[in-house]
Amino acid sequence: MDEIHKYGRSKGKEIYVGSWSYEEQYKYGFPKDSYPKFDFVTMSPSVEEVKNKRLNEEEWKEKIRLTKEIYGQEIPIIAFIDWSFTRDTPLGVFSQTLTKEEANEALRNFDKFFTENGIIFAYPVHGGFMGRDATILASGKSYKYDSLAPEFQTYETIKELAQEKAKNEKGGLAGMRFATAHPNAQQSLALRISPERYTPLPFI
């Protein structure tokens, strides 16, 4: 990890390294000092949680507690709707199973919990593979999720949620700005995140 940071600085850049939190292994005895010193960690709602449009809040609170015990209280936790090769994934279910109304409801429910618990929600603005077996394609042709596509129409909800954060700065969000801009949108969106030593991360 240190070598990656050194390499970036040798090129005049800061490289921030992160991965999944892997808190489950810690719960079952994996020693804390064996974990890499990540700059941030990621989490995702499960397929079932996306289907239900709600997080299992008790499980998430325990995941957050363990993650901070492993990496420190200030570790940035970034939640996103994960994807893989098939539509049997969180993003696959989000795009292929939920209706437009249900998807927007899920975003609001997820965002509320994440905001209240100091987690950065990387909104599904543009990108993420919906699955090679996806049948509902963005603008009728793309396997990449697109919040502006007529099939999904979640961009306005994302914009509203992001602007509300920028306005209220709730949940201890401060410092650098995290872009959530769609490449085709007229208006760039951003929300503040902490701590200040971290740069915006391009989840697009």
Instruction: Determine, yes or no, domain membership for 144.
Output: yes
User: pLDDT for 140-183, tens place per residue?
Assistant: 999 999 999 999 999 999 999 999 988 876 443 333 334 344 55
Tell me, yes or no, whether 42 lies in a domain.
yes
Render pLDDT for 14-72 as a digit per residue (tens, 0 to 9).
999 999 999 988 888 889 888 988 999 999 999 999 999 999 999 999 999 999 999 99
Which residue, chain included where needed, has tokens 């240190």? 2
Q: How far apart are CA 103 and CA 158, in angstroms?
A: 11
Could you tell me the residue range of the domain that residue 82 belongs to?
2-172
Per the domain annotation, does 181 fall within a domain? no
Please give the pLDDT value at position 30: 87
Sign of the C-alpha dihedral computed for residues 44, 47, 49 and 52 taken in this order = positive
The two tokens of residue 18 are 């992160």
What confidence tens digit (pLDDT) does each residue in 90-141 have? 999 999 999 999 999 999 999 999 999 999 999 999 999 999 999 999 999 9
**pLDDT class of 184 with cuts at 50, 70, 90:** low
In this prediction, residue 169 carries a pLDDT of: 66
Q: Looking at residues 70-86, what average pLDDT do you find?
A: 96
Residue at 92 is within a domain: yes
User: Which among 201, 181, 189, 204 is positioned nearest to 78, based on CA atoms?
Assistant: 201
Q: What is the reported pLDDT for 181?
A: 46
Q: 11 vs 5, 7, 8, 15, 17, CA distance in Å?
A: 10, 7, 5, 10, 16
Q: Residue 44: inside a domain, yes or no?
A: yes
- Say if 167 falls within a structural domain: yes
Question: Residue 77 falls within a domain, yes or no?
Answer: yes
Cα distance between the two ends of the chain: 25
Residue 163, pLDDT score:
92
Residue 185 within a domain: no
82: pLDDT strictly greater than 80? yes
* 141: CB partners within 8 A, 6+ apart: none
pLDDT value for 149: 98
Predicted local confidence at residue 72, as pLDDT: 95
pLDDT band at 200 (very low <50, low <70, confident <90, very high): very low
- How many domains, in total, are found in the chain? 1
